[in-house]
Amino acid sequence: MKKIFYGILFCFAVVSFSACEIDNFDLPEETIKGRVVDVSTGDLVLTDQGSEGTRIRLRELSWTETEVPDNFDFWCMKEGVFQNTKVFKGHYNVRIDGAFIPLVRTTSSGDTIADESKYVDIEGVTEVEFEVQPFLKLEWVGQPTVSNGKITAQVRVTRGVSPADFRAKIEPMGGYNDGMLNVTDVRLFVSQVPHVGYREWDNRYTTQINYDGNSFDSLLGQTITITTNGEIPAGRTVFVRAAARINYATENIRRHNYNEAIRVEIPN
């Protein structure tokens, strides 16, 4: 990947002065933007913002300074869309990883058994859409209510991929066990900012319910009631999101699936 050096480059002499070599490549000004959608519904796959959310990885294949191209990572926004306006023009492999069936799947010995990443020429504004199978889907049931500084919300959690399809795609990668499908926790995140999630949450009020083994299976598709901790001060405006995850890691991170953030006013 081309490297841009900003600011003044200082050269230090040990025995004699040497000349400074300045990188004179043009600044990157191309744009890649896109969406991550549920292949079965077309809905955007909501996520966290940061390494616990959906990662976009670019590998520039048209640059030959090194034998192995560098990875350039950035992150999806919570709404399931992404954009980067500082990309060099070139031919790229674009891969995403998140709380969904991996698009690139390899065996324990490193053999590729599936590659649903995309190869694109980025020039001007380039748009890309990925269709994925999210592990879980979360929906609000009604609107949250407030009483004595506590928010009570109802949420429904369902699978975004069937157990049979999950096993068919994950088992060939090695190390499979049925416990990977277990829902391990459901959270009600609370924050003072709209992009509430794993990176932005107030631990005084956020609630987490843990589940052992496959005990959550009987609650799939049912209405779950969850109430915040503590007492949120009167007159405060907060944002809440529900999240849940299964016992399976993508790129060594067990990521949550989310629903949309809701603004809640705590009455005086």
Domain count, the chain: 2
Question: What CATH number does residue 228 fall under?
Answer: 2.60.40.2060
Q: What is the pLDDT of residue 69?
A: 67
- pLDDT at residue 171 in the model: 97
What does the pLDDT read at residue 67?
Answer: 60
Mean pLDDT of the chain: 90
* pLDDT in the model for residue 64: 64
Q: Are 63 and 1 in contact (CB under 8 A)?
A: yes
pLDDT (0 to 100) of residue 12: 35
**Which pair of structure tokens corresponds to residue 35?**
């969406």
- Spell out the residues 6+ positions from residue 218 whose beta carbon is closer than 8 angstroms to its own: none
How far apart CA 224 and CA 220 sit, in angstroms, is 9
- Same domain? For 122 and 205 the reply is no
| Span 80-103, pLDDT tens digits | 999 999 999 999 999 999 999 999
- pLDDT tens string for the chain (268 positions)? 444 332 333 333 333 334 344 555 678 889 999 999 999 999 999 999 888 999 999 999 987 665 666 789 999 999 999 999 999 999 999 999 999 999 999 999 999 999 999 999 999 999 999 999 999 999 999 999 999 999 999 999 999 999 999 999 999 999 999 999 999 999 999 999 998 988 888 999 999 999 999 999 999 999 999 999 999 999 999 999 999 999 999 999 999 999 999 999 999 9
- Answer with the one of 81, 107, 132 that is the final residue of a domain: 132
**Among candidate residues 132, 156, 187, the one where a domain is terminated:** 132
For residue 20, give the amino acid letter.
C
**What is the span of the domain harbouring residue 155?**
136-265
Maximal CA-CA distance, the chain: 75
pLDDT at 136: 98
Identify the helix (H) or strand (E) that includes residue 170: helix 163-170
Claim to verify: residue 144 and residue 256 sit in the same structural domain: yes
Question: Which CATH number do you get for residue 48?
Answer: 2.60.40.1120
Does residue 43 belong to any structural domain of this protein? yes
Last residue of a domain, one of 132, 160, 189: 132
